[in-house]
Amino acid sequence: MKKKLLGKTAVVTGGGTGIGKAIAKQFAQHGADVFILGRRMEILKSVRSEFEKIDLKITAFKCDVSSESDVKEFFTNHISPNGKLDILVNNAAVFYRKTLMDTNTKEFINMSNVNFLGVFLMIKNAVPFLEKNPESNIINISSVAGCIPPQGQNVYGSTKAAINHMTKGLAVELGPKGIKVNAIAPGPVNTPVWDTIAPDIDEQTKLKDMLRKKIPIGRIGEVEDISLWAMNIVSPDNTWMTGCILNIDGGRGLVT
């Protein structure tokens, strides 16, 4: 494998599970120095050990992206010393599959803080480092729920729609600084979040079967479907794409 990210430094939030973990692995396989951030250190340590067994090195840090002090502490202690940052992936998210009327205020605030405020805080602190390196990249992990209004995802989808808008605005704002900003909007993907959405296996199976019928490709996505495109975005071969929302969703966003 040609290692396209040798000498690059990447930060992936929500890097302990699912899509974030897959992206971190993809970047590490291509030679990047990868930092993974998350709120549960025990999970991050487990991922670090798992990667070490296949000769991939990552660095794990406990960081709540919705906490300004946590975010500032990370950048001050771990990025500032050498000032090196080329890639930021904002993947951390909170999801409740609920209608607006069933969503309580605490859940609303939690989704808003992690899914949107967290992206704002990470980008604001990352830009002074990203702008020092030519051809740097920001990837925001959005959702098909931010592009269409799937049932039971109104509040969550609204936070992702906000990310889509921010992505386009920042592409204009940060382009002159040499920073490309894009978003990936996945459809339903097999990740541990399913155990939270539908703890009962029978219920989970029924939900997945229902969703498959709304996906033209006919299957739930895998994390590798998303990490592949994250790699394509940050590849040195990609020099002109910015402000794009990539719907990697098996066609889910085309079906009402």
pTM higher than 0.75: yes
Distance CA 253, CA 159 (A): 17
Identify residue 130 by its one-letter amino acid code.
L
Burial class (CB in 10 A: 0-12, 13-18, 19+), 208: middle
Q: How confident is the model at residue 161 (pLDDT cuts 50, 70, 90)?
A: very high
Task: Give me the mean pLDDT over the 69-77 stretch.
Answer: 97
Tokens of 57: 């090195």
185: closest CA among 233, 151, 152, 219?
233
Q: At what angle do helices 105-112 and 154-174 cross, to 10 degrees?
A: 20
Task: Give me the mean pLDDT over the 231-248 stretch.
Answer: 97
Contact 78, 35 (CB under 8 A): yes
Task: Give me the mean pLDDT over the 143-171 stretch.
Answer: 95
Please give the domain boundaries of the chain with CATH numbers for all domains: 9-248 (3.40.50.720)
pLDDT above 90 (res 47) = yes
**The pLDDT of residue 192:** 86
Strand order, beta sheet including 179-186:
58-62, 33-38, 9-13, 87-90, 136-141, 179-186, 245-248
HEC-encoded secondary structure of the chain: CCCCCCCCEEEEECCCCHHHHHHHHHHHHCCCEEEEEECCHHHHHHHHHHHHCCCCCEEEEECCCCCHHHHHHHHHHHHCCCCCCCEEEECCCCCCCCCCCCCCHHHHHHHHHHHHHHHHHHHHHHHHHHCCCCCEEEEEECCHHHCCCCCCCHHHHHHHHHHHHHHHHHHHHHHHHCEEEEEEEECCECCCHHHHHCCCHHHHHHHHHHHHCCCCCCCCECHHHHHHHHHHHHCCCCCCCCCCEEEECCCHHHCC
**Residues facing residue 38 across a β-bridge:** 62
pLDDT above 90 (res 195) = no
**The pLDDT of residue 157:** 96
Burial class (CB in 10 A: 0-12, 13-18, 19+), 106: exposed
Q: How confident is the model at residue 249 (pLDDT cuts 50, 70, 90)?
A: very high
Task: Give me the mean pLDDT over the 135-163 stretch.
Answer: 95
Q: How confident is the model at residue 193 (pLDDT cuts 50, 70, 90)?
A: confident
Catalytic residues: 156
pLDDT above 80 (res 169) = yes
Distance CA 201, CA 209 (A): 12
pLDDT above 90 (res 22) = yes
**The pLDDT of residue 34:** 98
pLDDT tens string 90-108: 999 999 989 999 999 999 9
pLDDT above 80 (res 256) = no
Query: What share of the chain in percent tops pLDDT 70?
Result: 100
pLDDT above 90 (res 85) = yes
pLDDT above 90 (res 78) = yes
